[in-house]
């Protein structure tokens, strides 16, 4: 075993660990003005201190008088581990769990993307991985009751394992179940994660073409098919704890900006709720259970945007204008009781999120152009370079998943709370960016080397 082979991923882990210790021990998180009450209700938690959007809270009380509710998603399972011996829910415990998973994910990701030919590009991959995924825009979700941090770490593990299989041109029989478990755990976080998980399930099945033994091929096929079917079923049937608020926002912060709710088969009097935040009082006074929730569905909302392209493009323009703001103003606040100023954001380790917000155009035109160039290059290579097709399918799938994730907030939440709604899009965009820079750079270096050998030409 050569130590140098593992140096890039070791550097990645050590640098990320330094940043994680900073985030967890300060600690840093997301201020909560009371918007997490549904999640807390599901976990039988209550505020030890009044909620405020000036600081974030590091601990919550556990109501032992309430019966435990069935675990509905992966995050709720992880959250159960954050209750200490004094029956206090400590978000730092979640932070430590996610930190460990992130280090594993980054190690696998950098190892999976390693090149034995162009060694220096491995260090570039390591540096980019730390710069991007150890940014405060990502890590400060670790100390919270939000699911974004778990989304990041599990997706990195799954993509890293896929890259590893393509790198070694084989799928060891023990890797397929691990990949299936990590992808299913990722899929069980939420609807959008399940959609992406189903796409990864297809990629797992495709890796069967790399197998050197028939038994491996069977195992990979079964694991990939299972992931695809289970993730698809979960995506169709899952309702998060804030489902009612989300579908309300989808209609009254989205659809009614363009048409009356009567186009969805609802009572036109509900148009009065345009732009009004969801509250229990509104739900009661307008009898939303009978007049709204029992009559509307995401299928109807999807059908509306499919038949009203102008409305979809209008909402897409709004989403695109917020697409690359990885770190909204509420992300990266200090804990309550610290010496920080109210709503103060932590500084440091946010170079990438700063550059992303500052220099990437937040316009629908740029988003369309970016996807057009990305897919055009990959499709051209797919047609002309047969030996690369399997790995190119991974990159194409990442782009397809990103395209879905930038559109789905329009349907799922009406473009409400876009910083969180576009979190997974940003992860996938960053994976696209890394693949374009590192994999694309290696292809150019390889072509230059071939031209030099064949014709003595240097480009």
The per-residue DSSP string of 36-60 comes to THHHHHHTTEEESS--BSSSB-SEE
Q: Omega of the bond prior to 27 within 30 degrees of 0, cis?
A: yes
Distance CA 459, CA 452 (A): 9
Contact 13, 103 (CB under 8 A): yes
pTM, entire model: 0.94
pLDDT band at 3 (very low <50, low <70, confident <90, very high): low
Report how far Cα 166 is from the mean position of its chain's Cα atoms.
Answer: 22
Choose the weakest-confidence range: 144-158, 243-257, 286-300, 408-422. Answer: 408-422
> If you ran DSSP here, which 8-state letter would residue 209 be given?
G
Q: Is 86 exposed, middle or buried (0-12, 13-18, 19+ CB in 10 A)?
A: exposed
Nearest in space to 45 (alpha carbons), one of 63, 19, 26: 63
Is 399 in contact with 432 (CB distance < 8 Å)? yes
What are 111-148's pLDDT values in tens digits?
999 998 899 999 999 999 999 999 999 999 999 999 99
190 half-sphere exposure, CB direction, 13 A CA radius: 23
How much is the mean pLDDT over the chain? 92
| Average pLDDT of the segment spanning 381-405 | 96
Across the range 409-434, mean pLDDT stands at 88
* Residue 69, pLDDT score: 84
Give residue 458's pLDDT band: very low, low, confident or very high (50, 70, 90): low
Answer yes or no: is pLDDT of 351 > 90: yes
Cα first-last separation, the chain: 36
Q: Which residues, 6+ apart, have CB-to-CB distance to 182 below 8 Å?
A: 154, 157, 158, 161
Strand ranges for 112-192 from DSSP E: none
If we measure between CA atoms, which residue out of 116, 115, 110 comes closest to residue 128?
110
Provide the percentage of residues in the chain whose pLDDT is more than 90: 73
Whether the per-residue pLDDT at 456 is higher than 70: the answer is: no
CA–CA separation, 442 vs 161, rounded Å?
20
What average pLDDT does the segment 281-310 reach? 93
Q: What does the angle CA 196 – CA 202 – CA 203 come to, to the nearest 5 degrees?
A: 90
State residue 4's pLDDT score. Answer: 73
Cα separation, 435 vs 356, whole angstroms: 17
């Amino acid at each position: 075993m050569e130590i140098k082979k593992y140096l890039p991923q070791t550097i990645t882990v050590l640098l990320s660990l330094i940043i994680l210790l900073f985030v967890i021990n300060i600690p840093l998180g997301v201020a909560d003005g009371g918007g997490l009450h549904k999640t807390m209700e599901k976990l039988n938690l209550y505020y030890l201190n009044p909620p405020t959007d000036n600081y974030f809270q590091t601990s919550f009380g556990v109501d032992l008088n309430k019966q435990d509710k069935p675990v509905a998603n992966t995050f709720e399972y992880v959250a159960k581990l954050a209750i200490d011996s004094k029956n206090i829910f400590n978000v730092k415990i979640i932070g430590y769990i996610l930190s460990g998973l992130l280090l594993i994910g980054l190690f696998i990701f950098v190892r999976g993307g390693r090149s034995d030919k162009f060694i220096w590009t491995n260090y570039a991959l390591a540096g980019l991985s730390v710069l991007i995924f150890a940014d405060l825009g990502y890590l400060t979700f670790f100390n919270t009751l939000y699911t974004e941090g778990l989304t990041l770490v599990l997706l990195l593990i799954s993509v890293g394992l896929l890259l590893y299989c393509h790198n070694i041109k084989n799928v060891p029989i023990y890797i397929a179940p691990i990949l299936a478990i990590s992808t299913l755990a990722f899929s069980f976080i939420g609807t959008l994660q399940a959609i992406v998980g189903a796409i990864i399930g297809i990629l797992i099945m495709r890796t069967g073409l790399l197998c050197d033994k028939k038994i491996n091929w069977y195992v990979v096929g079964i694991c990939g098919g299972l992931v695809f079917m289970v993730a698809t079923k979960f995506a169709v049937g899952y309702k998060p704890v804030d489902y009612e608020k989300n579908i309300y926002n989808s209609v009254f912060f989205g659809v009614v900006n363009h048409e009356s709710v009567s186009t969805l088969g609802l009572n036109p009097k509900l148009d009065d709720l345009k732009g009004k935040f969801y509250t229990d009082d509104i739900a009661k006074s307008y009898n939303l259970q009978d007049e709204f929730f029992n009559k509307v569905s995401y299928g109807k909302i999807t059908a509306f945007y499919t038949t009203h392209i102008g409305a979809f493009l209008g909402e897409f323009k709004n989403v695109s204008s917020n697409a690359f703001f990885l770190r909204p103003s509420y992300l990266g606040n200090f804990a309550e009781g610290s010496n920080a100023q109210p709503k103060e954001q932590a500084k440091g380790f946010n170079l990438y999120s700063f550059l992303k917000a500052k220099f990437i155009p937040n316009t629908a035109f740029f988003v369309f152009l970016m996807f057009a160039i990305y897919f055009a290059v990959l499709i051209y290579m797919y047609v002309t370079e047969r030996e690369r097709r399997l790995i190119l399918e991974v990159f194409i799938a990442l782009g397809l998943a990103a395209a879905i994730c930038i559109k789905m907030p329009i349907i799922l939440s009406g473009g409400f709370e876009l910083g969180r709604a576009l979190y997974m899009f940003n992860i996938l965009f960053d994976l696209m960016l890394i693949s374009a820079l590192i994999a694309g750079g290696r292809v150019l270096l390889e072509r230059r080397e071939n031209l030099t050998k064949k014709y003595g030409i240097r480009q």
